[in-house]
Amino acid sequence: MVGHLRKKLDEKGVINMGRLLVFEGIDGSGKSTQIEMLSNFLKSQKQKVFVTREPGGTEFGEKCRELFLGEKLDGLTEACLAFASRNEHILQKIKPALRLGYWVLCDRFSDSTIAYQGYGRGVEINFLREMATNIEKQLSEIRIIYVHTSLERCLERIKKRSGVKNKFDNSSKIFYEKVIYGYSNIVKERGGTIIQVDGNDEIKKVFSKILQSVPELEQFKTNHNHLGDI
Ligand code: ADP
Ligand code: TYD
């Protein structure tokens, strides 16, 4: 491990040794599956891993999540709840974990708010972008992995998925098409920060693609024979 190369300073000049990897994509695209695989893989490589999600991640964030997913709300209200949850998440969990050298694997972040509340629900995108930029200033680096899976596959997977449904699971095809269009614009705007992987492939192939294409995981490329253990 080349620990000294991974040390970065955050905006307050505090040494920040971990890495924040955010997974984005529409519901059913395969984010949670890939996060679990990557978490297991990194742990097998003796790395410290913190898996978290949004909205949520803190006691306050989980309360926001309950309101966010349980209530019928205006898009702007949803966006405010998502950002409120995110800010506490960064302050209470993400930054402390990064300082302690953890790999932070986060299921969704700002791009979900821009794609769902902005493109999907019509909240002003520039306002959301500005909020996202300001909130992300608190982090020295962020890598986003966008799992791009066709809507048909996602809808099939959501239908089959067991567990409690959330209010977005019953969203219309038109809504998801807008969200996917939003993600495609976000990919262009974010440039090199975001890595797009094809989520239509089989699970292990998607994972292998992530290992191959995410620069932060470069050091583990040659270890992907461990894939068989996951
Ligand atoms: P998300 O977190 O993006 O909503 P999940 O990881 O929960 O997606 O995946 C949704 C469902 O699809 C789960 O039942 C999961 O087992 C299945 N799944 C995930 N990735 C794939 C894949 N690449 N091929 C086939 N099924 C998949
Ligand atoms: P989640 O369980 O993360 O979704 P998934 O089905 O992908 O596993 O549920 C969170 C839902 O909230 C999901 O439908 C996306 C939506 N969401 C937003 O609309 N805006 C946001 O800012 C975030 C973080 C999530």
**What is the identity of the amino acid at 154?**
C
Q: What percent of the chain has pLDDT over 70?
A: 88
Task: Check pocket membership of 61 for ligand 1, CB cut-off 6 A.
Answer: no
pLDDT band per the 50, 70, 90 thresholds, residue 86: very high
CA dist list (Å): 59 to 34, 85, 109, 147? 25, 9, 17, 27
Q: What is the pLDDT of residue 119?
A: 98
Q: How confident is the model at residue 5 (pLDDT cuts 50, 70, 90)?
A: very low
Contact of 64 with 80, CB cutoff 8 Å: no
Query: pTM to 2 decimals?
Result: 0.93
Q: Where are the domains of the chain?
A: 15-220
Is the pLDDT assigned to residue 186 strictly greater than 90? Answer: yes
**Cα–Cα dist 67/213, whole Å:** 36
On the question of pLDDT at 79 being above 70, the answer is: yes
What was the pLDDT predicted at 170? 72
Closest-lying ligand 2 atom to the alpha carbon of residue 26? 7
Residue 113 in this model has a pLDDT that exceeds 70: yes
- 114-147 pLDDT, tens digit each: 999 999 999 999 999 999 999 999 999 999 999 9
The three-class DSSP label of residue 48 is coil
Closest CA to 95 of 52, 129, 128, 63: 52
Token representation of residue 81: 């709840």
How confident is the model at residue 125, as a pLDDT? Answer: 98
From the CB of 206, is ligand 1 less than 6 Å away? yes
Across 104-121, average pLDDT: 98
Q: Which of 27, 29, 31, 33 to mutate to test the pocket of ligand 1 (most atoms within 8 A of CB)?
A: 33
**Residue 52, SS3 per DSSP:** strand
Residue 143 burial by CB count (10 A; 0-12/13-18/19+): exposed, middle or buried?
Answer: middle
Tell the residue nearest (CA) to atom 22 of ligand 1: 203
Mean pLDDT of 134-162: 94
Q: Return d(Cα 209, Cα 213) in angstroms, integer.
A: 6
pLDDT in tens, 40-57: 999 999 999 999 999 999
pLDDT digits (tens, 9 = 90+) for 194-225: 999 999 999 999 999 999 999 999 999 876 65
| The pLDDT of residue 1 | 38
CATH topology of domain 15-220: Rossmann fold (3.40.50)
Q: What is the mean pLDDT of residues 29-44?
A: 98
Task: State if residue 197 touches ligand 2 by the CB under 6 angstroms criterion.
Answer: no
Map residue 145 onto helix, strand or coil.
strand
**Structure confidence at residue 210 (pLDDT):** 98
pLDDT given for residue 180 in this prediction: 98
